[in-house]
């Protein structure tokens, strides 16, 4: 074995061009003759659309085109849902509202013009006649009889429903010493990347090929959906993901503009660009997280969990886009965590409301279920008088019980916990934060009138789900290595991570490898970047392709050296005969021989390239333990996060700095969810958080330094032993911080049952306990 | 692109025949002044990264549009268009400003440094190098603004502690890093930048 780069803390290949301002995000794409699109959006949460008149807009100088749903054909194409539940009443969104608008911000008409300024001028000239309807914005209210109905095919506003169960949960509850119930609510919040969405489309007048640059995390899926909606063959559409300025899951969706921009380019015959402004982003980016949990737990007096029984209502907003049921499905199948829960029943209900459609955001259902479970466990610990760490330890699955088949299957994969040491992770985190010393710290603070708390969260997450990912490796006759991956990363450092993997397989320097992502013209099949799948799926596809290339190269090198392949070693970018270093051929020499016309063994096909697909339905599960210490200001309810500890187990770590960057960045987002972020709607369905003044994301003064410990339980499900880990920080932090705030104030006689714990919310709790000054 | 409202959207009127965008107040067409044609233009002269540019621009063109689209300096990014996120931060006459919050015509006569002006040829600026060495970025979208904010801060300060650094970059939002790598990078640049 030669040099090993996997595990090395090497610097990122991505950085120099990003630091120089030389990156190409979608708004940086320029095409000659480019036109600009602007979107007219519904100002109503719920209204019938009586008429749309785009005539005056079309007549404005500088305007190329203006159109509404009526121009999309008698049967406009709908955005498809890719997953369903047992009970499923599809509520598809049309790219432009047809006869009804169902959320503020829903696209109604568009203008294409010589500039965005002129396009927005023209929007003002579009006449829309609305007949307002009563709106419903609360998911619980939406599914009650008599609520305003969004879609005729689901008069109860239940778009989807499924029960997930194992064991005999009712018998477990009947036999329990204790049953504890709670309603726990998580608010609506979402990814809010610094780069908004954007699309550029250009159709080649000669070939008819449509090229689409889209800040999407799954270009191949966008191509497939587009082909269906545009009724064009997929081979005539090339979707390219340029550099992405953050995605966090909300760019793995299909929104109206993903169709409207290519459609406008085809319709006008001109290249068209649309860049979402921040206001549009808040109105219509995939919203996420909002769930109501009615959860109950059956226990023995010693804290042993006998069963979990729950109903959760996911606020899915007005429509089901491609991943509309995923949050609900993953949440329903992950409520048990990595604990021993022999009897389990969760009813997942997807409610339609007059708000922006929901879709996964970093964690995709796991932050929601984790909050319900970890908050409930703290409430249980208090009621049973058992230390909360001890309660968790008693119920955590042990390494001897793994792999553990929960008997559940989400819309994505069976829930089988493949590997790990959960109790060891918990103990390591407790030691790092000095849990044993915390009661004294808390007592001392309380003696000074200060409110400090510690919160624990044990989370797990599905990572790297299938069904496949693709990758190719080719070695040019110059010896240069190019990797093409189906991944479409958005800042994780994936180029570096994959280059490290390829470097080890091919024994070339990692920084000599060229990575190509997110281009349907370069790889026929791909899935993209979401669900923490780059290392697991793209990494493994790359291993398969690199090994094919290496095996062929070795055979060819043996031919060139007139040696037995078994006698060759690959080191420092060259194949040589063992013990005879002078007898050696470089990758360049082998690749030159492999090129057509070169010297190859009889029957060997030319070229040195392999395209491989890793097909795998079994998803590895990573897990971690987060512990936060916070201080709550008794006068204002303002929470400051002090120390923060994470123990993370994602199997083999390819690049430690990438991994830690994912953890810390995720913690910041989870902290934001626990303390400040919320997409607020008024009772009339008007969004009230449509700028960075109303929707706060954590700044540099809000996020603490995060102390990180690693465990490495290698996954048996792939040759690298990797598990995904991009989402874990956001899953663990929300509940660790919320539990810490609860610990700081619950001795006053209150219970924390919802987030975000904004100062005003905490102050209200303190006030209800008579404790605020 | 228009500057979005920075307050909660106004409730729309419910009378038929109204029109409007999602969060803008609706009004009857006849109440509205005729749409101004974007004819008003003005010549400006600015210096960007040492190069003098003389251009005629529409009076409603924002400075960041001018830098990105007229001068092709796309390293300056547009993150919010309401002056909060800091992605469009550039140095104007040496001081950091939000390029989304002023019009190009207001910049007449000014001198700018953008991210493209930091490196010297192949050699990264010590601040850029520190961000590379210490994992100060992930997606890179907020990075140009943070580099220029850091430039301004370190130019005037030496030996700042972590709290001061966190305060200094608190006007720039980053959604990826959790700021830890940014703080380390600024600390490192403080030591390596000879100034």
Q: What is the mean pLDDT of residues A88-113?
A: 96
Nearest to B16 among A28, A105, A130 (CB): A130
At how many degrees (to 10) do helices A728-745 and A366-384 cross? 30
Cβ of A275 within 8 Å of Cβ of B180? The answer is no
Residue A53 region by backbone torsions, left for phi larger than 0, else alpha for psi between -120 and 50, else beta: beta
pLDDT band of residue A202 (cuts 50, 70, 90) is: very high
The torsion angles phi and psi of A200, rounded to 5 degrees, stand at -130, 135
Decide: A261 and A24 in contact? Cβ < 8 Å: no
Q: Is the dihedral of CA A129, A134, A136, A142 positive or negative?
A: negative
pLDDT of A227 higher than 60: yes
Angstrom distances, CA of residue A177 to CA of A174, A299, A304, A310: 9, 6, 10, 18
HEC states along A99-136? CEECCCCCEEEEEEECCHHHHHHHHCCCEEEEEECCCC
HEC states along A404-425? EEEEEECCCCEEEECCCCHHHH
Instruction: Determine contact: A134 vs chain B, CB below 8 A.
Output: no
Residue A480 CA to residue A192 CA, distance in Å, equals 38
Q: What is the CA radius of gyration of chain A?
A: 27
Q: How many CB atoms within 10 Å of residue A236?
A: 15
Q: What is the mean pLDDT of residues A613-628?
A: 96
Determine the residue of chain B that is closest to A194 in CA distance. B79
Residue B30 CA to residue B56 CA, distance in Å, equals 33
Residue A562 neighbours by CB under 8 Å, 6+ apart:
none
Q: Give me the residues of A, 729-748, that contact B with CB < 8 A.
A: 729
Tokens matching residue A764 = 């209200």
Nearest to B4 among A11, A279, A657 (CB): A279
Determine the residue of chain A that is closest to B67 in CA distance. A28
Tokens matching residue A522 = 């370069």
Q: How many CB atoms within 10 Å of residue A171?
A: 13
pLDDT tens digits, one per residue of A370-384: 999 999 999 999 999
**Which letter, b or e, does each residue of A95-117 get, where b requires 16 or more Cβ atoms within 10 Å of its Cβ?**
bbbbebbbbbbbbbbbbbbbbbb
Residue A69 CA to residue A96 CA, distance in Å, equals 5
Nearest to A129 among B17, B138, B181 (CB): B17
Instruction: Determine contact: A528 vs chain B, CB below 8 A.
Output: no
On chain B, the residues whose CB falls within 8 A of the CB of A729 are 178
User: How far away is chain A from the Cα of B115, in angstroms, using its nearest Cα?
Assistant: 6
Strand order in the sheet with A47-53: A100-101, A47-53, A127-132
Query: For position A685, what pLDDT does the model report?
Result: 98
Residue A137 neighbours by CB under 8 Å, 6+ apart:
A45, A353, A354, A355, A681, A682, A683, A684, A685
Cβ of A132 within 8 Å of Cβ of B177? The answer is no
Cβ of A491 within 8 Å of Cβ of B139? The answer is yes
Query: For position B37, what pLDDT does the model report?
Result: 52
Q: Does domain A291-465+618-768 have CATH number 1.10.20.60?
A: no
Angstrom distances, CA of residue A480 to CA of A348, A474, A570: 51, 8, 16
Q: What is the mean pLDDT of residues A246-250?
A: 97
The torsion angles phi and psi of A241, rounded to 5 degrees, stand at -95, 115
Strand locations in chain B (E): 41-48, 51-58, 89-92, 95-98, 111-113
The torsion angles phi and psi of B28, rounded to 5 degrees, stand at -70, 145
pLDDT band of residue B21 (cuts 50, 70, 90) is: very low
Residue A123 CA to residue A578 CA, distance in Å, equals 73
Q: Which of A190, A159, A40 is nearest to A92 (CA)?
A: A159
- Tell me the β-bridge partners of A61: none
In the numeric block, the tokens 């996911």 are attached to: A314
Decide: A210 and A202 in contact? Cβ < 8 Å: yes
Percent of chain B that is helix, strand, coil (3-state, to 5) = 30, 15, 50
**Which letter, b or e, does each residue of A356-368 get, where b requires 16 or more Cβ atoms within 10 Å of its Cβ?**
bbbbbbbbbbbbb
Decide: A45 and A684 in contact? Cβ < 8 Å: yes
Tokens matching residue A544 = 């398969």
Tokens matching residue A7 = 């595990």
Q: What is the mean pLDDT of residues B170-193?
A: 98
pLDDT band of residue A402 (cuts 50, 70, 90) is: very high
In the numeric block, the tokens 């159109």 are attached to: A67
What is the C-alpha end-to-end distance of chain B, expressed in Å? 39
Query: For position A2, what pLDDT does the model report?
Result: 74
Query: For position B29, what pLDDT does the model report?
Result: 43
pLDDT tens digits, one per residue of A48-84: 999 999 999 999 999 999 999 999 998 999 999 999 9
Tokens matching residue A471 = 């990758």
Determine the residue of chain A that is closest to B127 in CA distance. A19
Pairing label, strands A639-649, A707-711: parallel
Residue A385 CA to residue A371 CA, distance in Å, equals 21
Q: What is the DSSP string of B52-79?
A: EEEEEEETT-BHHHIIIIIS--TTS--S
Superfamily of domain B41-117: Beta-grasp domain (3.10.20.30)
Q: What is the mean pLDDT of residues A731-748?
A: 97
pLDDT of A587 higher than 80: yes
On chain B, the residues whose CB falls within 8 A of the CB of A25 are 74, 77, 141
Q: What is the mean pLDDT of residues B107-124?
A: 97
Q: What is the mean pLDDT of residues A655-664?
A: 96
Cβ of B19 within 8 Å of Cβ of A127? The answer is yes
Domain chopping of chain B, boundaries = 41-117, 126-192
Using DSSP's 3-state secondary structure scheme, residue A62 falls into: coil
Decide: B120 and B113 in contact? Cβ < 8 Å: no
User: How far away is chain B from the Cα of A232, in angstroms, using its nearest Cα?
Assistant: 31
pLDDT of B5 higher than 90: no
Instruction: Return the biggest CA–CA distance within chain B.
Output: 66
pLDDT of B38 higher than 90: no
pLDDT of A468 higher than 80: yes
Average pLDDT, chain A: 97
**CATH for the stretch A31-133+195-245+251-284:** 3.90.1170.50
pLDDT tens digits, one per residue of A294-352: 999 999 999 999 999 999 999 999 999 999 999 999 999 999 999 999 999 999 999 99
Query: For position B14, what pLDDT does the model report?
Result: 36
Residue A247 neighbours by CB under 8 Å, 6+ apart:
A191, A193, A215, A217, A490, A491, A529
Q: What is the mean pLDDT of residues A566-571?
A: 95
Q: Which of A326, A592, A641 is nearest to A462 (CA)?
A: A326
Task: Burial-class residue B95 by CB neighbours within 10 Å (0-12, 13-18, 19+).
Answer: exposed
Domain chopping of chain A, boundaries = 15-22+467-615, 31-133+195-245+251-284, 291-465+618-768
Strand order in the sheet with A568-571: A568-571, A574-577, A580-586
Of how many residues is chain B composed?
Answer: 195
In the numeric block, the tokens 């819309």 are attached to: A411
User: How far away is chain B from the Cα of A265, in angstroms, using its nearest Cα?
Assistant: 20
Residue B179 CA to residue A175 CA, distance in Å, equals 50
Q: Is the dihedral of CA B188, B189, B194, B195 positive or negative?
A: negative
**CB-facing half-sphere around the CA of A523: CA atoms within 13 A:** 37
Query: For position A771, what pLDDT does the model report?
Result: 62
On chain B, the residues whose CB falls within 8 A of the CB of A23 are 75, 140
Q: What percent of chain B has pLDDT over 70?
A: 80
Peptide bond into A467 cis (omega under 30): yes
Residue A97 CA to residue A76 CA, distance in Å, equals 10
Q: Is the dihedral of CA A150, A151, A155, A160 positive or negative?
A: negative
Residue B159 CA to residue B188 CA, distance in Å, equals 10
User: How far away is chain A from the Cα of B60, in angstroms, using its nearest Cα?
Assistant: 9
Using DSSP's 3-state secondary structure scheme, residue A754 falls into: strand
Domain with residues B126-192, CATH architecture: Orthogonal Bundle (1.10)
Cβ of B7 within 8 Å of Cβ of A691? The answer is yes
In the numeric block, the tokens 């030389």 are attached to: A22
Please list the alpha-helical segments (H only) found in A314-395. Answer: 326-332, 366-384, 388-395
pLDDT tens digits, one per residue of A694-717: 999 999 999 999 999 999 999 999
Nearest to A44 among B12, B24, B78 (CB): B12
ipTM for the complex shown: 0.96
User: How far away is chain A from the Cα of B35, in angstroms, using its nearest Cα?
Assistant: 7
In CATH, which of 2.40.10.10, 2.60.120.620, 3.30.365.10, 3.40.50.10860 is domain A15-22+467-615? 3.30.365.10
Tokens matching residue A503 = 């470097």
Query: For position A307, what pLDDT does the model report?
Result: 98
Decide: A312 and A291 in contact? Cβ < 8 Å: yes
Please list the alpha-helical segments (H only) found in A434-538. Answer: 438-447, 494-506
Residue A138 CA to residue A371 CA, distance in Å, equals 20
Q: Can you say how many angstroms the Cα of residue A334 is from the centroid of all Cα atoms in its chain?
A: 16
Q: Can you say how many angstroms the Cα of residue A238 is from the centroid of all Cα atoms in its chain?
A: 24
Cβ of A688 within 8 Å of Cβ of B135? The answer is no
Residue A446 CA to residue A438 CA, distance in Å, equals 12
Residue A763 CA to residue A340 CA, distance in Å, equals 37
Residue A324 CA to residue A352 CA, distance in Å, equals 11
Tokens matching residue A530 = 């979401």
């Amino acid at each position: 074995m030669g040099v090993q780069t996997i595990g090395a803390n090497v610097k990122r290949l991505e950085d120099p061009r990003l630091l120089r301002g030389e990156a190409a995000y979608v708004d940086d794409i320029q095409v000659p003759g480019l036109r600009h699109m602007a979107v007219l959006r519904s100002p109503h949460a719920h209204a019938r659309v009586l008429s749309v008149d785009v005539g005056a807009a079309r007549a404005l100088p500088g305007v190329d085109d203006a159109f509404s749903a009526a121009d999309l054909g008698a049967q406009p194409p709908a955005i498809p849902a890719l997953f369903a539940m047992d009970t499923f009443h599809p509520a598809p969104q049309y790219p432009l509202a047809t006869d009804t608008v169902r959320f503020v911000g829903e696209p109604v008409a568009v203008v294409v013009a010589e500039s965005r300024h002129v396009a927005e001028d023209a929007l003002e000239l579009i006449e829309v006649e609305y007949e307002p309807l009563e709106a419903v914005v609360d998911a619980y209210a939406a599914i009650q009889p008599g609520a305003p109905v969004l879609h005729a095919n689901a008069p109860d506003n239940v778009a989807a429903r499924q029960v997930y169960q194992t064991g005999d949960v009712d018998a477990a509850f009947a036999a329990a010493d204790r049953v504890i119930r709670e309603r726990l609510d998580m608010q609506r919040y979402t990814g809010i990347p610094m780069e908004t969405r954007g699309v550029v489309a250009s159709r080649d007048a000669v070939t008819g090929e449509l090229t689409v640059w889209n800040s999407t995390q799954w270009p191949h899926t966008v191509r497939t959906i587009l082909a269906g909606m545009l009724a064009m063959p997929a081979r005539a559409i090339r979707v390219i993901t340029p550099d992405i300025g953050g995605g966090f899951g909300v760019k793995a969706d299909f929104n109206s503009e993903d169709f409207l921009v290519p459609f406008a380019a085809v319709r006008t015959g001109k290249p068209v660009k649309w860049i979402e402004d921040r206001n549009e982003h808040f109105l219509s980016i995939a919203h996420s997280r909002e769930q109501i949990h009615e959860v109950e737990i059956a226990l023995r007096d010693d804290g042993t969990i006998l069963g979990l029984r729950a109903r959760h209502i996911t606020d899915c907003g007005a429509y089901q886009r491609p991943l509309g049921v995923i949050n609900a499905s993953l949440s329903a199948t992950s409520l048990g965590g990595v604990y021993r829960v022999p009897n389990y029943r969760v009813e997942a209900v997807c409610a339609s409301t007059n708000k922006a459609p929901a879709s996964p955001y970093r964690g995709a259902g796991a932050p929601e279920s984790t909050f319900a479970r970890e908050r409930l466990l703290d409430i249980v610990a208090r009621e049973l008088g058992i230390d909360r760490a001890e309660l968790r330890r008693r119920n955590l699955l042990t390494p001897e019980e793994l792999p553990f088949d929960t008997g559940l299957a989400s819309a994505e994969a069976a829930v089988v916990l493949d590997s790990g040491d959960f109790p060891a992770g918990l103990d390591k985190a407790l030691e790092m934060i000095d849990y044993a010393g915390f009661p004294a710290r808390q007592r001392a603070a309380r003696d000074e009138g200060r409110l400090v708390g510690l919160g624990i969260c044990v989370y797990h997450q599905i990572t790297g789900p299938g069904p496949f990912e693709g990758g190719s490796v080719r070695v040019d006759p110059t010896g240069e290595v190019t990797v093409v991956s189906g991944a479409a990363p958005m800042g994780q450092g994936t180029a570096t991570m994959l280059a490290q993997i390829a470097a080890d397989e091919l024994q070339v320097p990692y920084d000599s490898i060229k990575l190509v992502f997110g281009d349907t013209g370069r790889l026929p099949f791909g899935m993209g970047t979401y669900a923490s799948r780059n290392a697991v799926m793209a990494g493994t596809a790359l291993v398969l392709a690199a090994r094919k290339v290496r095996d062929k190269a070795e055979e060819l090198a043996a031919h060139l050296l007139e040696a037995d392949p078994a006698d060759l070693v690959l080191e420092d970018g060259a194949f040589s005969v063992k013990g005879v270093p002078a007898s050696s051929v470089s990758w360049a020499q082998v690749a030159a021989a492999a090129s057509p016309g070169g010297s190859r063994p009889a029957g060997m096909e030319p070229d040195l390239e392999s395209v491989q697909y890793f097909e795998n339905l079994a998803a590895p599960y990573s897990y971690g333990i987060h512990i936060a210490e916070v201080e709550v200001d008794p006068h204002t309810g303002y929470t400051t996060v002090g120390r923060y500890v994470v123990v993370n187990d994602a199997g083999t770590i390819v690049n430690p700095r990438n991994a830690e960057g994912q953890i810390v960045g995720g913690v910041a987002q989870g902290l934001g969810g626990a303390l400040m972020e919320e997409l607020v709607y008024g009772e009339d369905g008007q969004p009230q958080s449509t700028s960075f003044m109303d929707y706060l994301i954590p700044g540099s003064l809000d996020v603490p330094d995060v102390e990180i410990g690693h465990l490495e339980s290698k996954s048996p499900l792939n040759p690298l032993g990797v598990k995904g880990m991009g989402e874990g920080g956001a899953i663990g932090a929300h509940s660790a911080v919320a539990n810490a705030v609860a610990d700081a104030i619950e001795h006053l006689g209150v219970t924390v049952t919802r987030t975000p714990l904004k100062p005003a919310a905490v102050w209200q709790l303190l006030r209800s306990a008579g404790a605020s000054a | 692109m228009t500057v979005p409202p920075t307050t909660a959207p106004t409730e729309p009127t419910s009378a038929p025949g109204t029109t409007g965008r999602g969060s803008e107040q609706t009004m009857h067409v006849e109440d509205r002044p005729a749409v101004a044609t974007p004819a008003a233009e003005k010549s400006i002269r600015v210096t960007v990264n040492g190069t003098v540019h003389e251009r005629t621009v529409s009076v409603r063109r924002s400075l960041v549009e001018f830098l990105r689209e007229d001068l092709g300096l796309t390293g300056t990014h547009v993150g919010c268009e309401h002056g909060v996120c800091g992605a469009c931060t550039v140095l104007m006459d040496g001081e950091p400003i939000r390029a989304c919050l002023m019009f190009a015509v207001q910049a007449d006569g000014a001198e700018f440094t953008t991210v493209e002006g930091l490196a010297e040829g192949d050699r990264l600026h010590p601040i850029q190098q520190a961000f590379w060495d210490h994992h100060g970025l992930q997606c890179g979208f907020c990075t140009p603004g943070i580099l220029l904010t850091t430039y301004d801060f370190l130019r005037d300060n030496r030996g700042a502690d972590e709290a001061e650094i966190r305060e200094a970059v608190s006007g720039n939002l980053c959604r990826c890093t959790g700021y830890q790598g940014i703080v380390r990078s600024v600390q490192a640049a403080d030591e390596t930048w000879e100034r």
